[in-house]
Chains A and B, each alone.
Chain A
């Protein structure tokens, strides 16, 4: 990639920042070259975020209907999944899986609830509640 070919697609996700790449200049030297976005990167970043949002919206629906716990919604909201949440809280996966059900989640002790809240960066009250919109 020549330096003048470095894409400048102004990715919204970069919020005006640019990252640094290396590219080849006129003399064939590799030199630093800023890039403020590239189509390929924008697509895959949107895809990854959309996937979390899709899961969060589905979990929100389930929590609304009382089929899932608010924990499940907040887990996806904070871009986590079962494995990551288990690793972050230090709980077994099967326990976390149980707590994605409303009944088991409602019976949680303050201690375990606090671990979830801490891992997700929420207050225990926020963890228990569901926003108006997913």
Chain B
């Protein structure tokens, strides 16, 4: 395995900043590194990251997928398209070629984004390691046999052994990263953030309100609410697994909590200034209130799983229904505001 000559130690000066979500964190950090000042919430908003989806046919450990954001790679794709940024993107068939390419980028003084599985990263706390193939991080150097990594969801800079990183980058299965590496190739001198933000808000609000399928957006929330209301009380163990799974998807899988609602509210506040539309401010405030309701829902559901609260499906269903109707009003106001 070590037939390739060992490259010298390299370290690209890189400013680490913790973020709430890995994909928006990596892309905003890479853009800042390449002299385009952009915050994580702004990247998340312009990338139209916010969503709601209930995908009963995609199974995770036998349970359906509940997503609070768009599918992996969406944020990077949409953000860079809206800002006219060209990304350099590579995937590899051979892990050895993928590792050599990474070393080459580092030797050329480039910090690169990489998609990995979360399970094989040796610096992740063991209890946080699950088979999820769409984690994102930035490699900014190499010391001996260890790669220097800025992982946006971790509060400090970390290191990962070469072998572990190789396994993580070339994990197989759904969303297999295939060693994906990326960095911005070309950034326009004055990208029009305001225009992009306005477009992005229209897109997200429209998607949440009007997608003609019952499993996405507001209709998806209402469907899940009905599903919870109709759970069979005799099936308590599987029901608890399902509720626990929903809460994990909402609070933990790649998120800064409350299914990204606070992150998006932060974006709306920044957009209010950027677009000169103070009307977005109260909408942002109301979105944080819905975020609070999502968190109360999570806390209740979790406590019910642990019998710290009597099981009450109707209560949870009501809370979800409340989130749906409040968010519906919010997206309608958003559309009117940026019209």
Contacts and interface: CB of A to CB of B under 8 A. Distances in A.
Asked if chains A and B come from one complex, the reply is: yes
Interface of A: 1, 12-15, 17-24, 28-32, 34-35, 38-41, 43-45, 47-49, 51, 78-81, 83-84, 87-90, 119, 121
Interface stretch (B250-258, B317-325, B331-339): B250-258
Contacts of A41: 247-248, 251-252, 298, 302
Contact of B302 (A14, A40, A119): A40
Interface in B268-304: 269, 284-285, 288, 291-292, 295, 298-299, 301-303
B155 A20 contact: yes
A83 B64 CA distance: 13
Contacts of A51: 61, 241
A43 B257 contact: no
Given A21-B256, A28-B285, A30-B265, A43 B302 contact: yes
Contact of B256 (A22, A47, A80): A22
18 contacts: A1-B288, A1-B295, A12-B127, A17-B154, A20-B20, A22-B20, A22-B256, A30-B41, A30-B269, A31-B266, A40-B299, A45-B127, A48-B61, A48-B248, A49-B127, A81-B62, A87-B172, A88-B171
A20 B155 CA distance: 8
Contact of B291 (A1, A79, A84): A1
A24 B92 CA distance: 43
B303 A44 contact: no
A113 to B, nearest CB: 16
A88 B299 CA distance: 34
B119 interface: yes
Nearest to A31: B266
Contacts of B269: 29-30
Given A43-B306, A48-B245, A87-B172, A79 B129 contact: yes
Contacts of A18: 155
